[in-house]
Chain A
Amino acid sequence: MHDSTIAQLAEALRARRISAVELTRHFLDRIARHDPALNAFITVTEDEALRAAEAADRRLASGDASALTGIPIAHKDIFCTEGVKTSCGSRMLDNFVSPYDATAVERLKAAGMVMLGKTNMDEFAMGSSNETSWYGPVKNPWDTTRVPGGSSGGSAAAVAARLAPAATGTDTGGSIRQPAALSGVTGIKPTYGRVSRYGMVAFASSLDQAGVFAATAEDAALVLEAMAGFDPRDSTSLDEPVPPYAAEIETPWERLKIGVPKNFFDEGLDPAYAEAVRAALAEIEKLGADLVTLDLEYLHLSVPTYYVVAPAEASSNLARFDGVRYGYRSPGAEQLDLVTFYKRNRAEGFGAEVKRRILIGTYVLSAGYYDAYYLKAQRVRKLISEDFARAFREVDLLAGPTTPTPAFGLGQKTNDPIQMYLNDIYTIGANLAGLPAMSIPCGFVDNLPVGLQLIGPPLAESRLLKTAHYFQKATDWHRRVPPGYE
């Protein structure tokens, strides 16, 4: 069952060849068998899942089912889930049981999807390897001595190992696309504002966007369609209708002009990785596309721009964690003076990377540095965004590698933040500009997956998904399953 697409599973559910309870049990059994080696889940919600599956079976029997009713899904532990621990990968929220559902979760529940559990992640989504999690690193199913990518590493590993047919993720600087590439699955980050941020623990509010991991673009389209849409509870939600993605990706192919940024292939990109990406581009050319080489002049400034903007917003967003209304409180902290009380709760509740980013954010926002760093970064952000806008006047999509290298070893980059940050060199631009982007499996280097990144103009999700879908009809990289998880 775990090697079927969501569309196939939905068909089997509707034909009553399987029940939602059987399907849910199948994935819960796989989690029980495989997750001890992967650590992809922080919480497995077995009882809730079986109850939801029973409800889904009733809906299926009454004929009141959606395309996703009875299909299991895992949620990144950044999404609030009513009555279920929502830790955000942090000791700070280890004891937090959300009193409500995030809008994305609520919508998928309403569609009848069955939550299997909450996936592991870098603490507060700050990381590119899943090693900053309070709950320990996630292992890459392709090679358990390597990282799955991050920050949505648990979701990526869960889908790669077929422990869930789909999983939610969030992407602030590449946190869906980078782990999708390193773990060999399909991942999409939609346009900024496309999926509601309500109930998603905030990291950098002008960059955060929720999206989906699945085995195929077709599956991702089905889930995204149910998740996306206007939400009055998110002040930055886009008030635009959601197109029927799953139907639109089946429309006949129309010739595309695809821009290939020269500097995506500069030094720093692993040569074998580059070769796999170039082969994928040639495959897309065969589908019917004109490839044009172009330049994104300011691309090399996306990492420094991001490491001003994102920490600045994070330092402000994370000020809410004080050990008063919810979250970690240091034992005996009540005996301290108020300022030391706050400091102690935060010092013990946050890990090293989160503290580092709060301090950098505090620095770039502090008196005397605000103009030189924060305002400057916002101006460069504008230049980067205009770079993309210029490119999209000439081409329909941009394509290139998702990451500079395949999955790296656990512990290999933990002591060098800058090296870790450079993992996101190709992905950050789309966040700064608010553009939709995705990563799809397109080959292997030394038995490790390679990701092809596609970036589109605002609200071009259908075009991205359709291109990925046609690519996946012509190739079978997305069907490869890590040995031992078949």
Chain B
Amino acid sequence: MSLAEQDIDKLCELARLEIDADEIGDVAKKLSDIVDMVSQLSAVPTDGVEPMAHPLDRPQRLRDDVVTETNLRELYQRNAPAVERGLYLVPKVIE
């Protein structure tokens, strides 16, 4: 299975990434090699085998629905690229 440059464009759209135009051919080739490598799984008979999502074969633990964290917004916002009056600044979203 070989991925074309248009496939990479579509994946970049889905993954919110950009690949430079001069690198896209190389990326397509390397991704195709990886897809080829993982495609050998398709030959393995797995009828009736349960998919394994996780090594722990037990249900998720539940906890009481109570507040355990305090508000540390100011501390956390020290890592934000742009903040104003406690709000994160992003490009204009609403026209």
A interface list, Cβ under 8 A from B: 95-97, 99, 192-193, 206, 232, 235-236, 238-239, 298, 301, 303-305, 307-308, 315, 319, 322-329, 333-339, 341-344, 346-347, 350, 355-356, 358-364, 366, 372-373, 375-383, 385, 417-418, 421, 432-435
| 12 examples of A-B residue contacts, CB within 8 angstroms | A301-B40, A324-B80, A341-B90, A358-B15, A359-B12, A363-B31, A373-B41, A378-B53, A379-B50, A381-B52, A382-B52, A417-B33
Complex partner residue of B14 from A334, A346, A366, CB under 8 angstroms: A366
**Complex Cα distance A373/B7, Å?**
16
Contact between chains at A376 and B42 (CB < 8 Å): yes
Contact between chains at B88 and A324 (CB < 8 Å): yes
In the complex, how many angstroms separate the beta carbon of A313 from the nearest chain B beta carbon?
10
**Given A99-B75, A382-B51, residue A304 in contact with residue B41 (CB < 8 A):** yes
Residues from 1 to 40 in B contacting A, C-beta threshold 8 Å = 3, 7-8, 11-12, 14-19, 27, 30-31, 33-35, 37-40
Interface majority SS on B: helix, strand, loop or mixed?
A: loop
Q: Which residues of the other chain, A, contact B82 by a CB distance below 8 angstroms?
A: 329, 334
Q: Which residues of the other chain, A, contact B56 by a CB distance below 8 angstroms?
A: 192-193, 236, 238, 434
In the complex, how many angstroms separate the beta carbon of A413 from the nearest chain B beta carbon?
13
Complex partner residue of B51 from A97, A327, A336, A378, CB under 8 angstroms: A378
Complex partner residue of B79 from A326, A333, A373, CB under 8 angstroms: A326
**Given A325-B88, A359-B8, residue A236 in contact with residue B54 (CB < 8 A):** yes
In the complex, how many angstroms separate the beta carbon of A174 from the nearest chain B beta carbon?
16
Q: Which residues of the other chain, B, contact A326 by a CB distance below 8 angstroms?
A: 76, 79-81
- Chain B interface residue count, CB cutoff 8 Å, equals 49
Contact between chains at A96 and B79 (CB < 8 Å): yes
**Given A96-B79, A417-B33, residue A375 in contact with residue B38 (CB < 8 A):** no
B72 proximal to A (CB < 8 A)? yes
Contact between chains at B30 and A99 (CB < 8 Å): no
B78 proximal to A (CB < 8 A)? yes
**Given A99-B75, A363-B35, residue A347 in contact with residue B51 (CB < 8 A):** no
Complex partner residue of A336 from B3, B14, B81, B91, CB under 8 angstroms: B91
**Complex Cα distance A193/B60, Å?**
12
B66 proximal to A (CB < 8 A)? no
B93 proximal to A (CB < 8 A)? yes
Q: Which residues of the other chain, B, contact A322 by a CB distance below 8 angstroms?
A: 16
**Complex Cα distance A315/B90, Å?**
23
Q: Which residues of the other chain, A, contact B67 by a CB distance below 8 angstroms?
A: none
Q: Which residues of the other chain, B, contact A381 by a CB distance below 8 angstroms?
A: 51-52
Q: Which residues of the other chain, B, contact A232 by a CB distance below 8 angstroms?
A: 63
B86 proximal to A (CB < 8 A)? no
Q: Which residues of the other chain, B, contact A328 by a CB distance below 8 angstroms?
A: 81
